[in-house]
Chains A and B, each alone.
Chain A
Amino acid sequence: MLKTQAYNTGNDTVCFDEMLRADFSARECYRTLFEWLQRQSPSGIRAKQAEADAIFRRLGITFAVYGAAEANERLIPFDLIPRVISAAEWRFLERGIEQRVRALNAFLHDIYHRQEIVRAGRIPSELVNGNSAFLPQMMGFDPPRGVYSHIIGTDIVRTEEDGFFVLEDNLRTPSGVSYMLENRETMMHLFPELFAAHRVAPVERYPELLRQTLQSVAPSGCDGEPAVAVLTPGIYNSAYFEHAFLADQMGVELVQGSDLVVEDGALWMRTIRGRARVDVLYRRIDDAFIDPLNFRPDSMLGVPGLFDLYRAGRVTLVNAPGTGIADDKAVYAYVPDIVEFYTGEKPILKNVQTFRCSIAEERGHVLEHLEELVVKEVHGSGGYGMLIGPRSTRQQRADFAERIRANPGNYIAQPTLALSTCPAFAGSGIGPRHVDLRPFVLVGDRVRVVPGGLTRVALKKGSLVVNSSQGGGTKDTWVLED
């Protein structure tokens, strides 16, 4: 069904397509998939898409959209056509990601101890010590194995054959790994013949690797097999499904703050058979809410005394409180320096050029070029509070200019990137759609990058926003083995 001419003219901007070259020949890693796509009938694909949608509805993989009038749960659109990454490309990405997460963990250890990087003048003191994501309470504390960020979802975009850029580091509580796993399972169910024709690296071991990672950072005084629990804010959280899914897949308890109690110098969960000790808590709650005794006193989600217990080395919190300073959008611009400072190596993965509105010259440039830039709030996430210059109205730009002038430190700007495209099934046929990639990284006794990740796709033709809250969908991501 795939008409190559129609496929490429569907692409309104000149950008890198991961399947087809300009001469309509398939790139090596897509050859088998391309041939297969050409053999499929539109009705056959449509039937498979309907089957996939039914599976996801049955599994209940939904997400809540904040601020939507109906504030209900929506199904994240799933696109059938897998995204393929070659073994060589993956090896490069894996090396780059590992270098980056090691450097960022070293950065976290440093700024919560002697702050050598500040003393060396490589990053401004105010940016660290005055940052709301920096937690002074963490200073002088040594988390088990020196790891602060154990679970990371690095957002990567591609602009050309060798042009990979890190867009965001997501060191706090990255979500989406449940989609990676469910997308794979669904694809294996729908297209066994495609898996037979490719050597796709498995992602299914993720829950087991996650459990191993969590257990490997148990407090040093913990004897026996460390007990792990997943702490969720509850069913109204947009990622509740994922919290329940991960706890279930790991075979550990899913708990809320009200299930936990600090007593006798330990953390306990209430069970029907009495209290049971918790050694490692994978908390999917923001720093400010984990402990009303130490942070926001109005938090109903956390556990009083949890942070004291953590500092006393009686429980491990994953990820560590205060980790957000390392994926702060204002700190992002310094990550290449951070990588060099702690590893002594050049960064393998590039950063997107970033203008800091806090710096007068850079702000001037941003205000003059709003039409070409993407402006982001330093503490925003999920595609909210963004201005996409090329697609903005004059009024929107004027509003943003005013906001930037009023609070320059709150904004950064980046050039609009020509994100690569992948084939997607777009109702009437197959067309190229912009994608990004979020591989998942685990850091414990060692660094594990799971071969695959979450590919988010902007299903609207020409759209560059891949966030699920903004109409994006997901795809299965295949890393090929040699």
Chain B
Amino acid sequence: MRIAVTHTTSYHSDTPARAVQALRLVPRSLRGQTVLSWQVRVEGAGGGLRYTDAFGNAVELMASHGPTTSVVITAEGVVETEDTAGVVGFPPEAVVPAVCLRSTALTEADDAIRAFAATCRRETALATLHAVLDGLHAAVAYETGTTGSFTTAAAAFAAKRGVCQDHAHIFIAAARSLGLPARYVTGYLLTEEADAVAHHAWAEAMTPDLGWVGFDAANGQCPTDRYVRLAAGLDAAEAAPVRGVRLGAGSETLQVNVGVQASQSQSQSQG
């Protein structure tokens, strides 16, 4: 399937301030997806500093020239996908799977998550992970407005509700508590319903035979050809597509618009 994405992040404030942002906004080609074209444009800040981080993400650092009131970041491109039942395999990256057993503040398992995870243990890692996926999808309702970006896995699991970030964090905490390396993945989801969120997040866990496999507990399924994988990290904070620091007084407003659509015309592709 050919998927076109337009992802705009705008920061606006009344008082000018310096802004520094690390962008993880470039998908890479790996099993299940081929990036046909992609570009990132930034208004209000200068870039030019690129590197590949430990998780294989392409990072670009943006810094404004002096104080600014507005930064607009647009990522746009077309990705060809195929359904691999979530299998990503062993993409080249520096991080070793054992690192993905570390817990972070957002993904620390509490007794309740550990107890839930223990009920999911099966013969193989893959079967165990599917049990976590199904159990979590049933136990935690998808509900917006009840959690925020700093909500921990334990808090969301106790509340039995949350959004995709929370489902992914709980999945990761549960998998790690069973000794299975797991990580957070950001990306895009092509949905049928017009009002569904197209910016998405899920988890990946390591299995001995298949390598990394994606698990989307919010939707109770492994990623299909309707998913575009953007970046990975130990949790949502690390994998965030845009992570910024603002140096100055005053508040700012953040607006994110994501458009995902099945690409109609072949001519849109440059690949």
The answer to whether A binds B is yes
B-binding residues in A (CB < 8 A) = 112-113, 115, 118, 125-126, 129-130, 136-141, 261-265, 292-294, 297, 304-305, 308-309, 311-314
Contact of B54 with A130 in the complex, beta carbons under 8 Å: no
6 tightest A-B CB contacts, nearest first: A140-B94, A139-B54, A304-B245, A139-B94, A304-B20, A312-B51
Please, which residue of chain A has its CB at the minimum distance from the CB of B94?
A: A140
Please, which residue of chain A has its CB at the minimum distance from the CB of B46?
A: A264
Q: Given A129-B96, A293-B22, check contact A305 B102 (CB 8 Å).
A: no
Q: Provide a sorted-by-A list of 9 A–B residue pairs whose CB atoms are within 8 angstroms.
A: A113-B94, A126-B98, A129-B96, A130-B101, A139-B54, A139-B95, A139-B96, A141-B94, A293-B244
Please, which residue of chain A has its CB at the minimum distance from the CB of B48?
A: A265
| Whole-angstrom CA separation of A230 from B39 in the bound complex | 38
Q: Given A136-B54, A305-B63, A312-B61, check contact A115 B96 (CB 8 Å).
A: yes
Q: Quick check: is B65 within 8 A (CB to CB) of the other chain?
A: yes
Apart from A136-B54, A140-B54, what 9 extra A-B contacts exist at CB < 8 Å?
A: A129-B101, A136-B102, A140-B95, A141-B94, A262-B20, A262-B63, A297-B245, A304-B20, A313-B51
Q: Quick check: is B143 within 8 A (CB to CB) of the other chain?
A: no
**Which listed residue (A138, A297, A304, A305) contacts B54, Cβ 8 A?**
A138
Chain B residue numbers with a CB within 8 Å of A112 are 94
Q: Quick check: is B256 within 8 A (CB to CB) of the other chain?
A: no
CB distance from A132 to the nearest CB of B (A): 9
**Which listed residue (B22, B46, B52, B98) contacts A263, Cβ 8 A?**
B46
| Whole-angstrom CA separation of A309 from B59 in the bound complex | 11
Contact of B99 with A311 in the complex, beta carbons under 8 Å: no
Would you list which residues of chain B between 216 and 271 have a CB under 8 Å from chain A?
A: 234, 243-245, 247
Q: Quick check: is B194 within 8 A (CB to CB) of the other chain?
A: no
Please, which residue of chain A has its CB at the minimum distance from the CB of B52?
A: A140
Contact of A293 with B63 in the complex, beta carbons under 8 Å: no
CB distance from A98 to the nearest CB of B (A): 29
Q: What is the size, in residues, of chain B's interface with A at 8 Å between Cβ atoms?
A: 28
| Whole-angstrom CA separation of A115 from B99 in the bound complex | 11
Chain A residue numbers with a CB within 8 Å of B63 are 261-264, 305
CB distance from B252 to the nearest CB of A (A): 15
CB distance from B42 to the nearest CB of A (A): 14
Q: Quick check: is B50 within 8 A (CB to CB) of the other chain?
A: yes
Chain A residue numbers with a CB within 8 Å of B243 are 293
CB distance from B218 to the nearest CB of A (A): 25
| Whole-angstrom CA separation of A136 from B54 in the bound complex | 7
Would you list which residues of chain B between 31 and 60 have a CB under 8 Å from chain A?
A: 46, 48-54, 59
| Whole-angstrom CA separation of A305 from B52 in the bound complex | 15
CB distance from A479 to the nearest CB of B (A): 42
Contact of A312 with B244 in the complex, beta carbons under 8 Å: no
**Which listed residue (A126, A139, A308) contacts B61, Cβ 8 A?**
A308
**Which listed residue (A113, A129, A313) contacts B98, Cβ 8 A?**
A129
**Which listed residue (B51, B65, B96, B98) contacts A308, Cβ 8 A?**
B51
Interface string of B83-111 (1 = CB under 8 A from A): 00000000001111011011000000000
Contact of A308 with B22 in the complex, beta carbons under 8 Å: yes
CB distance from B233 to the nearest CB of A (A): 9
| Whole-angstrom CA separation of A264 from B47 in the bound complex | 7
CB distance from B22 to the nearest CB of A (A): 6
Contact of B247 with A136 in the complex, beta carbons under 8 Å: no
Contact of A309 with B61 in the complex, beta carbons under 8 Å: yes
Contact of A263 with B65 in the complex, beta carbons under 8 Å: yes
Please, which residue of chain B has its CB at the minimum distance from the CB of A135?
A: B54
Contact of B22 with A305 in the complex, beta carbons under 8 Å: yes
Contact of A292 with B245 in the complex, beta carbons under 8 Å: yes
Contact of B53 with A311 in the complex, beta carbons under 8 Å: yes
| Whole-angstrom CA separation of A138 from B51 in the bound complex | 12
Chain A residue numbers with a CB within 8 Å of B247 are 304
CB distance from B198 to the nearest CB of A (A): 26
CB distance from B204 to the nearest CB of A (A): 15
CB distance from B165 to the nearest CB of A (A): 17
Chain A residue numbers with a CB within 8 Å of B234 are 136
Chain B residue numbers with a CB within 8 Å of A264 are 46, 48, 63
Q: Given A130-B102, A308-B59, check contact A136 B95 (CB 8 Å).
A: yes
Please, which residue of chain A has its CB at the minimum distance from the CB of B233?
A: A136
| Whole-angstrom CA separation of A141 from B59 in the bound complex | 14
CB distance from B84 to the nearest CB of A (A): 25
**Which listed residue (A126, A140, A305) contacts B20, Cβ 8 A?**
A305
| Whole-angstrom CA separation of A211 from B245 in the bound complex | 32
| Whole-angstrom CA separation of A298 from B237 in the bound complex | 14
Contact of B99 with A139 in the complex, beta carbons under 8 Å: yes
Please, which residue of chain A has its CB at the minimum distance from the CB of B245?
A: A304
| Whole-angstrom CA separation of A424 from B158 in the bound complex | 62
| Whole-angstrom CA separation of A76 from B63 in the bound complex | 44
| Whole-angstrom CA separation of A141 from B18 in the bound complex | 28
Q: Given A125-B98, A129-B99, A305-B20, check contact A137 B54 (CB 8 Å).
A: yes
Contact of A311 with B51 in the complex, beta carbons under 8 Å: yes
CB distance from B244 to the nearest CB of A (A): 7
| Whole-angstrom CA separation of A86 from B243 in the bound complex | 56
Please, which residue of chain B has its CB at the minimum distance from the CB of A138?
A: B54
| Whole-angstrom CA separation of A305 from B46 in the bound complex | 13
| Whole-angstrom CA separation of A38 from B196 in the bound complex | 90
| Whole-angstrom CA separation of A305 from B59 in the bound complex | 11
| Whole-angstrom CA separation of A304 from B95 in the bound complex | 23
| Whole-angstrom CA separation of A192 from B207 in the bound complex | 71
| Whole-angstrom CA separation of A297 from B247 in the bound complex | 12
| Whole-angstrom CA separation of A140 from B94 in the bound complex | 5
Chain B residue numbers with a CB within 8 Å of A304 are 20, 245, 247
CB distance from B195 to the nearest CB of A (A): 32
Q: Given A139-B54, A297-B245, check contact A309 B49 (CB 8 Å).
A: yes
Chain A residue numbers with a CB within 8 Å of B46 are 263-264
Contact of A262 with B61 in the complex, beta carbons under 8 Å: yes
Chain A residue numbers with a CB within 8 Å of B65 are 263
Chain B residue numbers with a CB within 8 Å of A265 are 48-49, 61
Chain A residue numbers with a CB within 8 Å of B51 are 308, 311-313
Please, which residue of chain B has its CB at the minimum distance from the CB of A302?
A: B245
Chain A residue numbers with a CB within 8 Å of B98 are 118, 125-126, 129-130
Chain A residue numbers with a CB within 8 Å of B53 are 137, 311
Please, which residue of chain A has its CB at the minimum distance from the CB of B95?
A: A139
Chain B residue numbers with a CB within 8 Å of A309 are 49, 61
| Whole-angstrom CA separation of A313 from B61 in the bound complex | 13
Chain A residue numbers with a CB within 8 Å of B22 are 293-294, 305, 308
Contact of B61 with A305 in the complex, beta carbons under 8 Å: yes
Contact of B99 with A136 in the complex, beta carbons under 8 Å: yes
Chain B residue numbers with a CB within 8 Å of A305 are 20, 22, 61, 63, 245
